[in-house]
Amino acid sequence: MGPTEIGVLIFRSKSTISREVRRLGTDLPYEAKPNHAAALEQRLKARRPSRRTAARLVEIEAGLRQGHTPQQIAGRWVEQGRPVEERLSYETIYQIIIKERRAGGQWYRLLPMGGRKRRRDRTGKKRDRLKIQPEQELSARPERINQRMEFGHWEVDLVIGARQEGVLLVAVERVSRLVRLVFLRNKEADGVADALVKLLSAEAVESLTYDRGLEWMRHDRIAKALGAESYFCLPYHPWEKGAVEQMNGLIRRYLLKKESFGYEEADHYWLELIEAALNSRPRRVLGYRTPEEVAGELTGQH
pLDDT in tens, 66-105: 888 888 898 888 888 888 888 888 888 888 888 888 888 8
Q: pLDDT by residue for the chain (302 residues), tens digit each?
A: 677 877 777 767 778 777 766 655 555 555 555 445 555 665 555 444 445 677 888 888 888 888 888 888 988 888 888 888 888 888 888 888 888 888 888 888 888 766 554 444 444 455 567 787 888 889 899 999 999 999 999 999 999 988 778 899 999 999 999 999 999 989 999 999 999 999 999 999 999 999 999 999 999 999 999 999 999 998 888 889 999 999 999 998 888 877 778 777 778 888 999 999 999 999 999 999 999 999 999 987 65
- Which of 57, 81, 115 marks a domain boundary? 115
Q: Based on the structure, what is the number of domains in the chain? A: 2
Residue 210 maps to a domain: yes
Residue 5 maps to a domain: no
If asked whether residues 79 and 150 sit together in one domain, one would say no
**Any residues with CB less than 8 A from the CB of 231 and at least 6 apart, and which?**
136, 137, 138, 140, 141, 145, 207, 208, 209, 210
Q: What is the pLDDT of residue 123?
A: 44
Region for residue 138 given its phi and psi (left: phi exceeds 0; alpha: psi -120 to 50; beta: otherwise): alpha
Q: Is the pTM of this model over 0.75?
A: no
If asked whether residues 267 and 153 sit together in one domain, one would say yes
Residue 100 · residue 61 · CB < 8 Å:
no
Distance CA 139, CA 149 (A): 17
Residue 175: CA count within 13 A, CB half-sphere: 20
- Which of 50, 83, 115 marks a domain boundary? 115
Residue 201 maps to a domain: yes
Residue 7 maps to a domain: no
Distance CA 197, CA 226 (A): 7
Q: What is the pLDDT of residue 42?
A: 57
If asked whether residues 111 and 139 sit together in one domain, one would say no
Residue 24 maps to a domain: no
- Which of 115, 144, 163 marks a domain boundary? 115
If asked whether residues 295 and 168 sit together in one domain, one would say yes
If asked whether residues 291 and 143 sit together in one domain, one would say yes
Residue 19 maps to a domain: no
If asked whether residues 110 and 138 sit together in one domain, one would say no
φ and ψ at residue 173, rounded to 5 degrees: -80, 130
If asked whether residues 93 and 208 sit together in one domain, one would say no
Residue 21 maps to a domain: no
| CATH code: domain of residue 138 | 3.30.420.10
278-295 tens-digit pLDDT: 999 999 999 999 999 999
If asked whether residues 99 and 139 sit together in one domain, one would say no
Q: What is the pLDDT of residue 34?
A: 42
Residue 209 maps to a domain: yes
If asked whether residues 151 and 77 sit together in one domain, one would say no
Task: Give residue 44's domain range.
Answer: 32-115
If asked whether residues 164 and 251 sit together in one domain, one would say yes
If asked whether residues 183 and 240 sit together in one domain, one would say yes
Q: What is the pLDDT of residue 148?
A: 93
If asked whether residues 144 and 288 sit together in one domain, one would say yes
